[in-house]
Amino acid sequence: MNLRRVKSIDELAQNVPPPRDLWPAISAAIEAEKAAQAPGAQRRPRWLPAAGMAAAIALVAVGVFIGRSLGPVKFIETAGTREAAANVLPAALRDANYRKERDVLLVEVQHKLNDMPAAERTKVAASLATLRRSIGEIEAALGSDPANALLQELLVNSCQEEMRALTAVRDSGNQET
């Protein structure tokens, strides 16, 4: 081994060749990365979160629709049960019904809020905003984990709870006697 004290930078070698040709391995790695990024070759397709969200929204629509419209119905095993199941509305229509019902409720609730004293209006509006924010948080979590059963259950229940709370505010103060 040749040991020599280096006194200045200029004494160092300007070019140190590698002991072997590294390019073939680098080229192979680049090609492998290109192949992995090619359409259809990703391990997790980009459309998966969107599809998950769509599935979650459809699930919410189904849950809310069943909770509000079909909830009290007792299903008794009869010959007509299968026929009735076959007549269930398409998911898209249920989703539209849910959105329509919610939009109508929101308008009515806004009227009710406008009639409330300021302090009460602030308190109730904050609670409704909390519900909406919670639903947003669950949807965001579902975006990264669309198949999570806990999140799906929480989303359905939260949407149903929002509808119940909106209905309670809309109906508040109605004299029944």
Partner 1 sequence: MSIPKSYLCAGLLVALPLLACAGESGSIDRRIAVEPGGEVIISNVSGSIDVRGWDRNEVQVTGHLGEDVERLDLTTSGGRTIVKVVLPRGSSNDGDAEISVQVPKNCSVEVSAVSADVSSQGVLGTQRLKSVSGEITADISGDDSEVRSVSGDLTVRGTGKPISLRANSVSGSLDLTNGAGKLDVVTVSGDARVQMGETSEVRGRTTSGDLELRAKLTRDGRVDVEGVSGEITLRLVAPGGLSTEIESFSGDIEGCLAGSVERVSKYGPGTRLNLRTVEGGGARVRAKTLSGDIDICDH
List residues near partner 1 by CB under 8 A: 116-117, 120, 123-124, 126-128, 130-131, 134, 137-138, 141, 145, 148, 150-151, 153-154, 157-158, 161, 164-165, 168-169, 172-173, 175-177
Rg (CA), the chain: 31
Give the H or E element holding residue 102: helix 91-115
Cβ of residue 93: shortest distance to partner 1, in angstroms? 28
Q: In the chain, how long is the greatest CA-to-CA distance?
A: 107
Cβ closer to partner 1: 91 or 165?
Answer: 165
- Round to whole Å and give the CA distance between 75 and 86: 14
21 vs 176, beta carbon nearer partner 1: 176
Closer by beta carbon to partner 1, 92 or else 129:
129
Shortest approach of partner 1 to residue 111 CB, angstroms? 14
89/154 with CB nearer partner 1: 154
Q: Do 165 and 101 meet the contact criterion of CB atoms below 8 Å apart?
A: no
Residue 12 CB, shortest distance to partner 1, in Å, is: 46
- Closer to partner 1 by CB, 61 or 138: give it: 138
Give the shortest CB-168-to-partner 1 separation in angstroms: 6
Instruction: Please state the closest distance from residue 76 (CB atom) to partner 1, in A.
Output: 24
Residue 143 dihedral angles phi and psi, to the nearest 5°: -60, -35
The CA–CA distances, whole Å, from 66 to 36, 63, 95, 97 equal 43, 5, 11, 11
CB 155 within 8 A of CB 142: yes
- Of 31 and 120, the one with the shorter C-beta distance to partner 1 is 120
- Closest distance between partner 1 and the C-beta of residue 158, in Å? 6
C-beta separation of 95 from 57 below 8 A: yes
**Alpha-carbon span 139 to 160, nearest angstrom:** 14
